[in-house]
């Protein structure tokens, strides 16, 4: 190769090496910069998690219209009372006569019972059963919802205790939002509160569980407390066999994985490897869903076929909530 050609050749590749290095360096700078510039904020991450939760609930079929349930004619039954329990700080909560409290918006009629402070009925106002009756999902006589606690060495089930409502009822319209508190007093400045929030338009019922200064009396095994939920789901369709075929318990973990129990046989299973985002008692077209904002530590769920002609299946969930023993413990949730 002539000397002039070799010089031009060497000069060309030196320029290429510099340009290549410069180009690669600029690409690296752009990639690193974009990583920081495009990194989602905490608010964006929270909204994306909410979107994923909504999407996964919709995949269950018709869940976006649902909530927990029972009947306004439901009469709470008093449990048998131990005479020794009457002398405890919860004695008054065992003897107070239960009453019903009503919450209502455009889509829902929600009935709370002071016994257990729980929801016993949610009627879907714009829906009817196959025989044109009000659509009420679960049998109030065979439902349960509340905490199971070890209080000063004795088992306590809040489902059996009478709470005091902050109001006799609420009617919410339009863009308004209102809350009602079910209050269970244990002693001076010690209480358990269930705060229910309803918007004027929508199918969600906010549920906030608050323990105030109960850390000195509640003994929590493995730093967890148990939230029990049981429901016998009512018949909504003409064909009971078909309705049972599509009814079971579903769960989603906080990583987006969905699990389900058997559709065809009785089954019980513990999910404890990952935190649980929500638990759903699902029928063919309707579902009762409990969503925990911060997740449940675990959930022991079961499904069983009822033998009567009015209830589709019996479902239950024992969910563990983390309890550090702090003076105040707050667990934000939603019924959907």
Residue 218 to residue 221: CA distance in whole angstroms: 10
217 close to 325: Cβ distance less than 8 angstroms: no
Pick the CATH number of 63-335 from 2.40.30.10, 2.70.98.90, 1.10.150.530, 3.20.20.120: 2.70.98.90
pLDDT tens column, 291-315: 999 999 999 999 998 767 888 889 9
Range in 9-13, 89-93, 197-201 the model is least confident about: 9-13
Coil vs helix vs strand at 217: coil
Distance between CA atoms of 253 and 259, rounded to whole angstroms? Answer: 8
Across residues 210-215, what is the average pLDDT? 93
pLDDT at 311: 84
Q: Which long-range contacts (CB under 8 A, 24 or more apart) does 261-270 make?
A: 261/301, 261/302, 261/303, 262/303, 266/302, 266/303, 266/304, 266/305, 267/302, 267/303, 268/300, 268/301, 268/302, 268/303, 269/300, 269/301, 269/302, 270/298, 270/299, 270/300, 270/301
pLDDT in tens, 222-233: 899 999 999 988
Residue 321 pLDDT > 80 = yes
**DSSP class of 21:** H
Torsion angle defined by CA atoms of residues 318, 202, 72 and 319, in that order, rounded to the nearest 10 degrees: 0
Helices (H) and strands (E) in the chain, counts: 4, 20
Q: What percent of the chain has pLDDT over 90?
A: 47
The 10s digit of each residue's pLDDT in 250-294 is 999 999 999 999 999 999 999 999 999 999 999 888 889 999 999
Average pLDDT over residues 202-215: 95
Which residue blocks in the chain are alpha helix, DSSP H? Answer: 3-37, 42-58, 91-95, 240-245
Reported confidence tier of residue 67, pLDDT bands at 50, 70, 90: very low
Instruction: Give which of 127, 176, 152, 170 is closest to 285, Cα–Cα.
Output: 127
Residue 114: alpha-carbon gap to chain centroid: 21
Q: Which of 6-15, 34-43, 226-235, 283-292 has the lowest mean pLDDT?
A: 6-15
Whether the CB-CB separation of 331 and 321 falls below 8 Å is answered with: yes
| 47-51, 112-116, 133-137, 310-314: range with lowest mean pLDDT | 47-51
Examine the pLDDT at 117 and tell me if it is beyond 60. yes
Cβ contact 81:101 at 8 Å: no
State yes or no: pLDDT of 59 exceeds 90. no
Q: CA–CA separation, 93 vs 112, rounded Å?
A: 16
pLDDT score of 61: 43
Kindly report the backbone phi and psi dihedral angles of residue 167, in degrees, each rounded to the nearest multiple of 5, phi listed first: -155, 160
Question: Is 212 strand, coil or helix?
Answer: strand
pLDDT digits (tens, 9 = 90+) for 143-173: 899 999 988 888 889 998 999 999 999 999 9
Dihedral over alpha carbons 91, 96, 100, 102 (to 10 degrees): -70
CA–CA distances in Å: residue 291 to residues 102, 146, 195, 205, 268: 22, 15, 15, 10, 20
- For residues 51 and 57, give the distance between their C-alpha atoms in angstroms, rounded to a whole number: 10
pLDDT band, very low/low/confident/very high, at 94 (cuts 50, 70, 90): low
- Which of 82, 100, 127, 93 has its CA nearest to residue 234? 127
pLDDT at 81: 47
Please report the pLDDT score of residue 155 as a whole number.
87
74-83 per-position pLDDT tens digit: 455 555 444 4
d(CA 293, CA 254): 10
Q: What is the pLDDT of residue 69?
A: 38
Provide the b/e sequence for 77-115 (b: ≥16 CB within 10 Å): eeeeeeeebeebebeebbeeeeebbebbbebbbbbbbbb
């Amino acid at each position: 190769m002539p000397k002039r050609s070799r010089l031009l050749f060497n000069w060309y590749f030196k320029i290429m090496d510099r340009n290549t290095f410069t180009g690669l360096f600029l690409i690296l700078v752009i990639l690193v910069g974009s990583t920081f510039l495009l990194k989602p904020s905490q608010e964006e991450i929270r909204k994306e998690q909410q979107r994923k939760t909504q999407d996964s609930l919709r995949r269950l079929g018709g869940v976006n219209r649902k909530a927990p349930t029972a009947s306004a004619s439901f009469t709470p039954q008093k449990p048998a009372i131990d005479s020794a329990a009457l002398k405890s700080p919860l004695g008054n909560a065992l003897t107070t006569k239960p009453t019903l409290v009503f919450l209502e918006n455009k889509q829902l009629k929600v009935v709370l019972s002071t016994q257990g402070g729980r929801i016993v009925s949610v009627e879907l106002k714009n829906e009817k059963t196959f025989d044109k009756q009000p659509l009420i999902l679960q049998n109030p006589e065979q439902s349960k919802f509340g905490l199971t606690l070890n209080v000063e060495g004795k088992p306590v089930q809040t489902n059996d205790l009478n709470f005091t409502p902050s109001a006799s009822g609420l009617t919410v319209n339009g863009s308004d939002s209102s809350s009602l508190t079910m209050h269970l007093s244990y002693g001076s400045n010690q209480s358990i509160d269930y705060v229910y929030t309803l918007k004027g338009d929508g199918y969600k019922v906010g549920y906030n569980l608050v323990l105030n200064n109960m850390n000195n009396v509640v003994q929590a095994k493995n730093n967890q407390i148990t939230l029990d939920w049981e429901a016998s789901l009512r018949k909504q369709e003409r064909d009971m066999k078909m309705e049972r075929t599509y009814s079971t318990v579903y769960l989603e973990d906080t990583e987006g994985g969905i699990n389900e129990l058997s559709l065809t046989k009785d089954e019980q299973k513990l999910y404890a490897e990952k935190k649980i985002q929500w638990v759903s008692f699902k029928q063919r077209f309707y579902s009762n869903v409990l969503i925990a904002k911060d997740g449940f530590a675990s959930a022991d769920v079961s499904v069983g076929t009822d033998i009567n002609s009015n209830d589709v299946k019996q479902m239950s969930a024992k969910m563990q909530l983390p309890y550090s023993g702090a003076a105040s413990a707050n667990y934000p949730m939603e019924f959907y």
